[in-house]
Amino acid sequence: MGKWPSGWYLLVWGILIFWVLLSGVVSGNVVTMVVGAILLFAFTSAYLTSYVKSEHRVKRVLEVIFMLLVFGVVVYGYVITRSIILGVVTLFVVAMVLFAFVVTYLLPKIRGNRLKLEELRDDYG
């Protein structure tokens, strides 16, 4: 992932997330609070991925923890509210996670088979 445009981008997202969380708390709307928490955890994970230039195990663990928190908050919010919006978001997140696992499992195998086929073609063709 490339570097983000500027510090203003981070400030705008920070204000948006704070505003969504605050409006959810003030109005007592659980869906808005859940969406604010989702944005907070997802943005934190994206920030760690993009800006923290470290390959420490702690950084990777924190990224995974924040993404699991996003998933947990979405599922918890859906179970509590039975909101259609959170149901759709839950399905989308589950589909993305399954797609990511399938691609990370199958892509190396496909690449490996392609390399073997190219080697055979070079040997016999």
Full-prediction pTM beyond 0.85?
no
**Total tally of structural domains belonging to the chain:** 1
Dihedral (CA of 54, 2, 45, 101) sign: negative
pLDDT band at 75 (very low <50, low <70, confident <90, very high): confident
**For a pLDDT cut of 70, what percent of the chain falls above it?**
81
Report yes or no on 21 lying in a domain: yes
Report yes or no on 2 lying in a domain: no
Residue numbers of the domain that contains 109: 7-124
Report yes or no on 34 lying in a domain: yes
Report yes or no on 1 lying in a domain: no
pLDDT of 6-53, one tens digit each? 667 778 888 999 999 999 999 999 989 998 998 998 888 878 877 777
Q: Give me the torsion for CA of 63, 64, 65, 67, rounded to 10°.
A: 90
Report yes or no on 85 lying in a domain: yes
Report yes or no on 11 lying in a domain: yes
